[in-house]
């Protein structure tokens, strides 16, 4: 494959995205205090708050990390709007 062909391939598969990183404040302390309660609250937060808000703002969660998430948006304004909530 020539360099030009490689660059053309990379350009056709590239896309711009805005990424939002979210995590739970004081998660470690909450886990120390009551692990079961914290995990249940985290599940509820994700199911009833985060997932609907991400969907409403046309985003998609592409990485879940315990108490954190990475969310991708095709629009900077959608990402910004959710980030302000």
pLDDT at 4: 66
Nearest CA among 24, 20, 34 for reference residue 67: 24
Give the CA radius of gyration of the chain: 18
> Does some domain include residue 10?
no
- If pLDDT is split at 50, 70 and 90, which confidence band does 66 have? confident
pLDDT at 11: 63
Which residue's structure tokens are 């302000």? 84
Burial of 82 (0-12, 13-18, 19+ CB in 10 A): buried
CATH number of 47's domain: 3.30.70.1230
Mean pLDDT is lowest, of 1-5, 37-41, 74-78, for 1-5
| Domain that includes residue 44, residue range | 16-83
State mean pLDDT over 11-18. Answer: 74
> Does some domain include residue 61?
yes
Cβ-based neighbours of 37, under 8 Å, separated by 6 or more = 30
Quote the distance between the C-alpha of residue 76 and its chain's center.
Answer: 14
> Does some domain include residue 9?
no
Number of structural domains (the chain) is 1
> Does some domain include residue 40?
yes
> Does some domain include residue 38?
yes
């Amino acid at each position: 494959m020539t360099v030009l062909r490689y660059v053309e391939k990379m350009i056709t598969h590239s896309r711009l995205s805005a990424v939002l990183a979210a995590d739970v404040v004081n998660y470690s302390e909450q886990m120390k205090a009551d692990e079961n309660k914290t995990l249940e609250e985290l599940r509820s937060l994700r199911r009833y708050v985060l997932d609907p808000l991400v969907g409403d703002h046309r985003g998609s969660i592409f990485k879940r990390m315990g108490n954190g998430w990475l969310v991708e948006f095709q629009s900077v304004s959608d990402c910004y709007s959710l980030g302000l909530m």
